[in-house]
Amino acid sequence: MKAYFASLLPLAEDSGQPGDWYLICFKDFAGAVTQARSLAECLAMGQDILEIHGLSLAEQGRPLPEPSSYEEVLAFTEQAMKGEGIAAGAQCYVQLFGLPEIDLSPVDVQVRMTRWDLRCIEARAKELGLGRDEFLVRAARAYRDAADEDYGTPCRQETAAPEESL
């Protein structure tokens, strides 16, 4: 697991957001920026954005960047505090986030279903130009993402070893 520091910056009211909004960004991941209504929400969203960017790099076959030091991120944060829309004189924060190892190697999984369900899945996969496995993975991801939106509990990668039999 690698750990990365993030900058948490309070947004000024004149930026079009209420004064209690925060911006979070990672020096080591260009484009890993989001904002939230509270500091607590900002921390949760920071973990999500870090995992999304880490997964994106892994899917592209690119290595994760080496984490910047606390001092480097603090200097980055202090420079960002001078930017437009940041609350002048407000307290900024630097927070450490862990990024679990992202393992995209394939695994074999045995799934039980009725023959009817299998026929329907194979027919729909064929219509979409997908193999059965890719169709099932995409369906599971869509279901997971919908549950994240409905229940506000983002999917987290497990850091423990997976069970032998899935």
Q: Is 94 helix (H, G, I), strand (E, B) or coil?
A: strand
Residue range 50-87, pLDDT digits in tens: 999 999 999 899 999 999 999 999 999 888 888 777 87
Helices 132-151 and 115-128: crossing angle, nearest 10°? 90
Residue range 5-15, pLDDT digits in tens: 999 988 877 65
Residue range 117-146, pLDDT digits in tens: 999 999 999 999 999 999 999 999 888 878
Q: Give the residue carrying structure tokens 């039980």.
A: 112
pTM for this structure?
Answer: 0.67
* pLDDT category of residue 16 using cuts at 50, 70 and 90: low
DSSP 8-state symbol, 62: P
Helix (H) or strand (E) holding 6: strand 2-10
Q: Taking the domain 2-99, which CATH number applies?
A: 3.30.160.250
Tokens read off for 114: 């009725």
* Rounded distance between C-alpha atoms, residue 95 and residue 26, angstroms: 10
* Cβ–Cβ < 8 Å for 94, 6: yes
Tokens read off for 81: 């505090």
* Cβ–Cβ < 8 Å for 154, 144: no
In the chain, domain spans: 2-99, 106-166
